[in-house]
Amino acid sequence: MAIPGVVAVLIAAFIVKSLPLDILRWLVIVVILYTSIVMLRAAYSKSH
């Protein structure tokens, strides 16, 4: 399981390095928003 993980990180690093900075910035914003929404929904569903 560790070997495919290393290969995936290397592939992702090459993809990220080839992306323009604006696209990378928006991609990071989308990932942060998605993660925060999922975490807020999980927290809200456990409290009620």
- Name the helix (H) or strand (E) containing 16: helix 2-18
Domain boundaries, the chain: 20-48
More confident residue, 46 or 3: 3
**Tokens 């990932």 map to which residue?**
31
Q: Say what the pLDDT of residue 16 is.
A: 87
- Measured CA to CA, the distance from residue 33 to residue 42 in angstroms comes to 14
**How many of the other CB atoms lie within 10 Å of CB of 24?**
13
42 token code pair = 């999980």
**Tokens 């995936």 map to which residue?**
8
Q: Say what the pLDDT of residue 46 is.
A: 78
Q: What is the DSSP letter of 19?
A: S
User: Using 50, 70 and 90 to split pLDDT, how confident is the model at 27?
Assistant: very high
Q: Say what the pLDDT of residue 48 is.
A: 67
pLDDT of 47 > 80? The answer is no
Average pLDDT over residues 32-41: 97
Percent of the chain with pLDDT over 90: 71
